Copies of this chain bind each other. A is one copy, B any other.
Amino acid sequence: MGSQVSIGDFSVMTSLSRKALRHYHDLGLLEPAYIDAHNGYRFYDTTQVDHAQIIRRFRALGMSIPDVKALLSAEDTDVRNDIITAHLRRMEQQLQTTMDTVGALRELLSPVRRSANVELRHEPEITAWTISAVIEHAEIDRWFCAAMRGLTQALSISGTVAQGPPGGLYARELFTDSYGEATLFVPTSHDTSPVPSVSAQLLPATEVAVLTHEGSHEGIDRSYGALGIYVHEHLISDEGPIRERYLGGEGSDFASFTRTDICWPIFSTVC
């Protein structure tokens, strides 16, 4: 038999807070050796220090109080091992989750670009002449050619040149619901258009992940798939239409482009 000590002294001896000791008493995990019937003071025996340390150890190992209780009341070593093993499995599971989380966060901060031909880009705000329509996905090619012609004509009528390659904005619904808004645009410094079917707009700035598709639009859906998978695995997709930029065209012959930049809006985390 050791000597009787107050909860404060026992707290110092075991590195368990008084609140924790009272809590363990309430739950029947660690009973004081003696309780003063008059004022309710708890008194612990110094021989209980080791037992308290065991509790502290397993709590520090993340084991729940019911499990610690079961562990300490189990006489059989097999039962004890089962409890510890089950807890180990949970902690291994948590370890895996945390590792995945840390990996994903690290990649958010410095995305691995080499694995795909994907680069991150800030698209600045631009003024452009645009032609928009709500269309079905099936008629996109026909609409695309007509809109290209419309923009080319507008430029020639006004006698100005484009400030960069043309592009398109495609609402997500166009792909998910096969029906949605499409916009073709050409950058220009003029803020009024000479034709009623063409309007001047300010296209907002946005952060995008870009994959360049080579050649005509033959097989571009596979490039879309590759970029979509990349963004969802390594980045965070953001709202807004998908952008395309049509590159490699000669002069004002917009239809002669040889490359398409597919620009997928992302939630930006890196400069």
**Using a CB–CB distance below 8 Å, which chain A residues touch chain B?**
2, 46-51, 53-54, 57-58, 61-62, 77-78, 80-81, 84-85, 87-88, 91-92, 94-95, 98-99, 101-102, 104-106, 108-109, 172-173, 236-240, 267-271
Contact = CB atoms under 8 A, between A and B. Distances in A.
Given A81-B109, A239-B50, A268-B77, A98 B94 contact: yes
A84 B61 CA distance: 27
Copies in the complex: 2
Q: Top 6 A-B pairs ranked by shortest CB distance?
A: A50-B239, A88-B105, A95-B98, A91-B102, A54-B267, A61-B101
A80 B109 CA distance: 10
Contacts of A237: 50, 53-54
10 contacts: A50-B238, A54-B267, A62-B98, A62-B101, A77-B270, A84-B105, A88-B106, A91-B102, A95-B98, A95-B102
A87 B105 contact: yes
B62 A269 contact: no
Contacts of A2: 173
Contacts of A88: 102, 105-106, 109
A238 B102 contact: no
Contacts of A62: 98, 101
Contact of A99 (B54, B77, B87, B95): B95
A1 to B, nearest CB: 10
Nearest to A238: B50
Contacts of A58: 236
Contact of A81 (B80, B87, B270): B270
Contacts of A172: 50
A49 to B, nearest CB: 8
A20 B255 CA distance: 48
Given A88-B106, A109-B84, A236 B101 contact: no
A271 B51 CA distance: 20
Given A50-B237, A54-B236, A95-B102, 15 more contacts: A2-B173, A47-B239, A53-B237, A57-B236, A58-B236, A61-B101, A62-B98, A62-B101, A77-B269, A78-B271, A80-B269, A84-B105, A88-B102, A94-B98, A95-B99
A173 to B, nearest CB: 7
